[in-house]
Amino acid sequence: MAIQVGDKIPSVKVKVIGPEGQQDSTTDELFGGKKAVLFAVPGAFTPLCSAQHLPGFIEKAAEIKSKGVDAVYCLSVNDGFVMDAWAKDRGAGDAVTLVADGSADLTKQLGLEMDGSKFGMGTRSQRYAAIIEDGVVTHLGVEAPAKFEVSSADAILEAL
């Protein structure tokens, strides 16, 4: 069953992309004691993800953070090297921190995986956005297949 509002984010190891490249971290470190936005995309460098989803959050990050959000994270089931290249390509800078869930461990524990095999992508994350306060989901917008409505930066701004 997929994670829902009121549920705690599971404790999972991930790779976080920072100024020095990829670093080991945990969801406990990312979300504990903070208010954060987590949005997930099916894949780095894919058309909608690269043209709208990530750029929208980069553009609106300061506005999101002005509403009491400590961090904005973008998760994808890609390895840390790909996520690092994507962060540089899209100019994520300090606005959005990219999180690599290379083996889909977090995605599967959240119950938000999808089968992208017909696109040659294997297991991927569904497109979603969440507001997380001290590790607990307070808002969750999961997209219907082929949609981009409830997980945009604008949708998160409305929910904050």
Distance CA 63, CA 138 (A): 19
In Å, how far are 31, 37, 66, 69, 72 from 62, measured between CA atoms?
Answer: 19, 12, 6, 9, 10
Distance CA 1, CA 118 (A): 23
The reply to whether 74 belongs to the active site is no
| Residue of 49, 54, 129, 140 marked active site | 49
- Residues 22, 15 contacting (CB under 8 angstroms): yes
Write out the catalytic residue numbers: 49
